[in-house]
Amino acid sequence: MDWVLQKGKQEEFPARIHVLLARDAPYGVVIRRGPAKHVCFIGWDRKSDTFEVGQWLKGRIYGRRCDLSPDGRHLIYFAMNGKWDSEAKGSWTAISRAPYLKAIGLWAKGDCWDGGGLFVDSRTYWLNGRYGQQTIREPHNLLRTERHPGEYEYGGECPGVYYLRLQRDGWRLVASEELSKRCHVDVFEKSIQVGWVLRKLAYQTSEPPAGRGGYYDEHEIKDEATGTVVKKPGWEWSEVDRDRLVWCESGKLYSGHLTYNGVGRVTTLFDFNPMRFERIKAPY
């Protein structure tokens, strides 16, 4: 659980979760954050719904600038630990073997503009780096492309990678709205089984709610036939995984099957809240 100071007292928040799913393999990587400066990668075998802790970082990983290769073998991620005098200049883009952090490809950044990237296919990657990155080492057997992987560009922070990843993976950007001078929302939709649509509300704000960051998501499911919308504001991440819906809420990962009446047969797959930092060595 994460703790913050609210009006002179501590308030407890669950672990924050973001998930990457491989497109061509039944594998995923969970990015678990909490407390604020502790984050880890956790491998998810989606056939057996079993989990393997990869490695922890004392720092921050920007989940919306990360990607998992289609075969589930490699990760690309953007991280920051603030050690500005280090070889990686305090923030860096890396490619690793999932679900570990140890870099087989490494590019020093030195600030938090751009960073991260996407896999075009299982052997080709694109780096999000208009403002300069210093190459420390290139990954063997992987090929870098300079070609931008999307139809549009969405700026130098998280949407510049995240929105491209969503659209690549079947999400449609259907609406954008300025809610205030300090808050904007983009709405994505993905069709799912039995006449339902999954809606992702991607917020950008300088005044986030307690326990949220400047970028956060909420979700809804909509009945295509009736237009009925069921709000799921506690779902911080959600996706379609084969014939089921999967989502994260309150630091836990769930699955469920949609029926004509909504989400049913809900299963708790894993509770990430009890996890604590541990030193783990990558097996390569």
| Gap between the Cα atoms of 40 and 100, Å rounded | 9
pLDDT at 6 over 60: no
The pLDDT, as a whole number, for residue 129 is: 83
pLDDT at 108 over 70: yes
pLDDT at 1 over 50: no
Q: Report pLDDT digits (tens) over 127-165.
A: 998 767 899 999 999 999 999 999 888 987 899 999 999
Say which residues have a Cβ less than 8 Å from residue 280's Cβ, sequence separation at least 6.
53, 54, 55, 56
Q: Mean pLDDT of all residues in the chain? A: 92
Q: Count CB neighbours of 87 within 10 A.
A: 10
| Gap between the Cα atoms of 111 and 133, Å rounded | 10
pLDDT at 5 over 50: no
Residues 118 and 127 sit within 8 Å (Cβ to Cβ): no
Write the single-letter amino acid at 30: V
209-218 burial, b for 16+ CB within 10 Å, e for fewer?
eebbbebbbb
Q: Report pLDDT digits (tens) over 168-179.
A: 999 999 999 999
Q: What is the DSSP string of 71-102?
A: TSSEEEEEEE---TTSTTTTEEEEEEETT---
Q: Which residue has the tokens 């989400």?
A: 263
Q: Which helix (H) or strand (E) holds 160?
A: helix 159-168
pLDDT at 54 over 60: yes
- Name the token pair of 236: 């911080």
The average pLDDT across 90-111 equals: 97
| Gap between the Cα atoms of 207 and 210, Å rounded | 9
The ranges assigned to domains in the chain are 2-271
pLDDT at 125 over 80: yes
Q: Report pLDDT digits (tens) over 188-222.
A: 999 987 788 999 999 999 988 888 889 999 999 99
The average pLDDT across 41-70 equals: 97
| Gap between the Cα atoms of 234 and 218, Å rounded | 7
Q: Report pLDDT digits (tens) over 238-269.
A: 999 988 999 999 999 999 988 777 788 899 99
The pLDDT, as a whole number, for residue 106 is: 98
pLDDT at 227 over 90: no
- Gyration radius of the chain over CA positions: 18
Is 159 in a helix, a strand, or coil? Answer: helix
The pLDDT, as a whole number, for residue 11 is: 53
The pLDDT, as a whole number, for residue 145 is: 96
Q: What percent of the chain has pLDDT over 90?
A: 78
